[in-house]
Structure 1
Amino acid sequence: MTTITTTDPSGKRARNGSVILTDRLCEKRVAKRVKFYDRKCPGLYVSITTAGVATFSFKFTDRQTGKQRTGWLGLYNPETFTVEDARTKVYGLMGMGGDALVETFRDRKARQAKRGKTVDEIIEERIAWMQTPVRKPDGEMRPRIETWENVASHLRRFLSPRLGKKLAGEVTKHDIATLSNDIVAGRHGGKTSVANARHMRRAASGLFKTGRRKPAATT
């Protein structure tokens, strides 16, 4: 059976730090992309972008091949995928043994490539695209979409918790309409708000238009 070892931050990565990961840390705003490795669960780390998107991954070394491997675990979400959820997932993967673990990540990567991206994945791409600096008509370099922080907030607060794990190509107009109605009624997003529902629909429209993935019509 293949032996696996978890990988601690070293060299350049050490500058990002090894800490005890918390949900609060995952919500931290950063000036540049950073990684934090978890002291409680060796190999687990979170990568946080300037857009506020935190992604959990698991780094380990396959001793049979000597290669370092990284497995994607998921995006941080305070409602559906927290630090403790990520730790539990890593412990479960480590219990599988080396061969099974490597094969699991290989199969997962192949399935994801075949089936397409999730809504959470295209949300992260959309945010990165919006905040990319471009030269404006006045000659200054500013984010492509200057209100990107507001749009990012609407995507993360309203769209991600409900539809984030769903394949982007499987999202229907009915899904968006139901989500909008739930926001208006106060069943999603905290308080009753027509404005928030409108912001969500506008953000969703831009998301699927940019990704060329229009919500499918309900059959």
Structure 2
Amino acid sequence: MTSGMRERTLWAGTRTRICSTARKPRKTVSEWMRQAVDEVYRRYLGLPVEWTPEQQEQFLDMVTDRLDRKAFDLAAELAPAAISQWTVEHGQHPDYLTTVRLNETAQENAREAIARELYDQIPVPGEGTEHLPPEPITGVPWESRWRDLRYRAEPTEAIEDLVDQVWPSDRWTAMFRVVAGYLLATRHEEGLELPTSPRHVLAERLVPQINEDLVALGYPAE
């Protein structure tokens, strides 16, 4: 649903930690991200029918926080690459204002990528699923649940640390590790074995599953 995403004014703000020269107050990332999360879940995806309002709010808060951190981590990966490319193309390091602009562009690209993942979960009209309530979570097998934003477990800090150990950032991209986090979180919820190091047999065996989800989201396999 990238076309729908582009029609929404989600990118009005930037993180003040990247650029402190903003001339007027801007929305924080969590504000516009929460607006996107609310729209996608409440208007299109729906929430499990058995959840209380408090459970719904808690879930939406967790999704928003997770997407915020994903956008920040991806921007932190994109910005140095953009600066390095600019340096190669121009034969010198960028000045302060150019560096700020490159950082802002990297952040906007990261936000778009993360929001695209969110909006791509919206069913295409005509599939016959837009008016169906979400199936109770107990009826969804884990192999399907970890790919579905409505049902998959949110990675804890321990799971995120484990992902960093098994698939380190010097080899795997931020998006790969984000998807891997959801897979490991759901496997942990099911009591299934988790990889413990890059040399663990599951570290290699789970890569095709992660790549399949990456490709479905519009990212290249790794």
Q: What TM-score do you get using the length of structure 1 for normalisation?
A: 0.32
TM-score of the superposed pair, with normalisation by structure 2: 0.32
Say which structure is richer in helix: 2
**Bigger relative CO (Cα 8 Å, ≥ 6 apart):** 2
